[in-house]
Amino acid sequence: MQEKQKMIHSRAVISEKAVIGKNTKIGAGAIIGEEVVIGEDCTIGTGVIIEPGSVVEKDCILEPGVIIGKEVTVGKNTKIGIGARIKDHVTIALIRL
């Protein structure tokens, strides 16, 4: 079985201090800041900006033009629509009671 690989567009800008999970796709013009962690099996669309210290957990989709502020956590299996803006220090996650 072939190991899954990251698929990063050549025009994406990714900090050397970012961690990108296996089988994650990053589109053209995306900017990934320092100490960002992106989990496995994510899709990061064209022009997405993820600011420093943010975490995008496994199986997330960030559609084109999304901006994620500093120190934001996007919980697993989350989809954020085209052009959405998420402010600094916010957590988006499914909470089961």
pLDDT score of 75 more than 70: yes
**Are 48 and 65 in contact, with CB atoms under 8 Å apart?**
yes
> How long a stretch of residues is the chain?
97
The domain 1-97 having CATH identifier 2.160.10.10: the answer here is yes
Average pLDDT over residues 76-84: 97
Whole-angstrom distance, CA of residue 53 vs CA of residue 34: 7
Dump pLDDT digits (tens) for 3-50: 456 799 999 999 999 999 999 999 999 999 999 999 999 999 999 999
Q: How far is CA 53 from the centre of its chain?
A: 11
Domain ranges of the chain: 1-97
Question: Would you state the pLDDT for residue 45?
Answer: 98
The percent of the chain in helix, strand and coil, each rounded to the nearest 5, is: 0, 30, 70
Q: What is the pLDDT of residue 95?
A: 72
The pLDDT score that the predictor gives to residue 4 is: 56
Mean pLDDT of 49-53: 98
Query: Does the model's pTM come out above 0.85?
Result: yes
Residue given tokens 């050397």 in the structure block: 16
| pLDDT over 50 at 91, yes or no | yes
Q: How far apart are the first and last CA of the chain?
A: 39
What would the mean pLDDT of 53-63 be, rounded to a whole number? 98
